[in-house]
Amino acid sequence: MRMHLRGVVLPDDEVRDLWVRDGVISYEPVLDAETLCDTGWIVPGLVDAHCHVGIRYGGGHEDREGAIAQAEVERDTGALLLRDAGSPIDTRFIDDHHELPKIIRAGRHIARPKRYIRELGIELDDERDLPDIVAEQARFGDGWVKIVGDWIDRSAGDLRPLWSDAILKEAIDAAHREGARVTAHVFGEDALPGLINAGIDCLEHGTGLTADTIEMMAEHGTALVPTLVNIDTFPDIADSATKFPVYAAHMRDLHRRVRHTVADAHAAGVPIYTGTDAGGSIRHGRIADEIDALAGAGLSRHEALAAASWRAREWLGRPGIEDGAPADFVVYRTDPRGSRAALDAPAFVVLRGRVYPRRDPVTGHR
């Protein structure tokens, strides 16, 4: 379909005419293009940088149909690029579905026995295997590897790191030799110095960050994906951990201070990106909630949208709105930086030059 759009293009914040032909953006007029809008805001395709296509809501592995349904829900909210942060199933078949968002895979979670959600990850009996397994998952993924940095240790009754500092350094070096970046699930304080000093590229959740570890992240340029909509489940996790009162109190404290933690990290210059942690305990399609949550945690509404769009795309090596780039963008009727309500209702989404939701071929209605 050949299309023409006119609206305020972000992040430039200027009214511009765009054309789309063969799935690609053109700054030059395209003949016989249908005008889809002559007012509105046009935003580079949103990014959910922590999104598990393949983990069923409520737990377990999703089947192919279920994974497709999850990806469709993400697309319709405007999330057109997903970094999967670990999936138990091989979602590579989704690459053949041009109507579905692009997934940047991180292979499978790497953990230790009894130290993560059962049956999701690869569990290593001996931590010395970590560098080899990281290298293997680096070759399997799309430039990212996901390790579990800490989890409850039931014998200690609290969060504890899974790995020694020395093996983390070896493992992250191994991933970098494969050309992959590494990220880690981390809730508590203790695992952070070892991960950051080992040169990890990103931290997921990061609720245990303190002034010292925030400064270390800023020095190393480590990114943070706070997943605030997931952190809001911490009080429920604490309520169900009656056998582990120290852990429960710890989780409540991490939750209580998380918005200050994110604000402090942002103020220190740590790059922050949106991730919902959809799959398992969070439903898919929550990107607007996460943008809104970041806007309540020290980022302006403009910065929160940037963290979910052009800045995240740049971080993941994908173009924004430019001449010759794939036509992946979201159109809003009102400024998506203006209010929560504006974010909730994209007028329509364009993915690879096709419009969603699709219009009825008879009535022309969406």
Q: How far is the CB of 144 from Zn ion (least distance, A)?
A: 13
Q: Decide if 325 contacts 351 (C-beta within 8 A).
A: no
Q: Decide if 37 contacts 333 (C-beta within 8 A).
A: no
Please tell me whether residue 277 binds Zn ion under the rule CB under 5 A.
Answer: yes
Q: How far is the CB of 51 from Zn ion (least distance, A)?
A: 8
Q: How far is the CB of 215 from Zn ion (least distance, A)?
A: 26
> Interacting stretch for Zn ion, rule CB under 5 A, among 77-85, 172-180, 266-274, 298-306?
77-85
Task: Compare residues 118 and 128 and give the one whose CB is closer to Zn ion.
Answer: 118
Q: How far is the CB of 277 from Zn ion (least distance, A)?
A: 4
Q: Is 125 left (phi over 0), alpha (psi -120 to 50) or beta?
A: alpha
- Residues β-bridged to residue 46: 79
Contacts of 251 (CB under 8 A, 6+ apart): 187, 234, 235, 237, 238, 241
> Interacting stretch for Zn ion, rule CB under 5 A, among 213-221, 269-277, 294-302, 352-360?
269-277
Q: 69-84 burial, b if ≥16 CB within 10 A, otherwise e?
A: ebbbbbbbbbbbbbbb
Site of tokens 């940095």: 149
Chain residue at closest Cβ approach to Zn ion:
277
Contacts of 240 (CB under 8 A, 6+ apart): none
Q: How many CA atoms lie within 13 A of 179 on its CB side?
A: 5
> Interacting stretch for Zn ion, rule CB under 5 A, among 9-17, 68-76, 81-89, 161-169?
81-89
- CA-based R_g, the chain, Å: 21
Q: Taking CB under 5 A as the rule, which mask of x and - marks residues 28-67 in contact with Zn ion?
A: ----------------------------------------
> Interacting stretch for Zn ion, rule CB under 5 A, among 80-88, 248-256, 294-302, 314-322?
80-88
Q: How far is the CB of 112 from Zn ion (least distance, A)?
A: 17
Binders of Zn ion among 296-335, rule CB under 5 A? Answer: none
Q: How far is the CB of 165 from Zn ion (least distance, A)?
A: 23
Q: 172-209 burial, b if ≥16 CB within 10 A, otherwise e?
A: bebbbeeebbbbbbbbbbebbebbbebbbbbbbbbbbb
> Interacting stretch for Zn ion, rule CB under 5 A, among 20-28, 78-86, 255-263, 347-355?
78-86
Q: Where are the alpha helices (DSSP H) in 36-182?
A: 64-76, 130-140, 165-177
Task: Compare residues 55 and 138 and give the one whose CB is closer to Zn ion.
Answer: 55
- Size, binding site for Zn ion by CB under 5 A: 2
Short-list 152, 54, 66, CA closest to 107: 54
Q: Taking CB under 5 A as the rule, which mask of x and - marks residues 88-117 in contact with Zn ion?
A: ------------------------------
Give the footprint of Zn ion on this chain (CB under 5 A): 85, 277
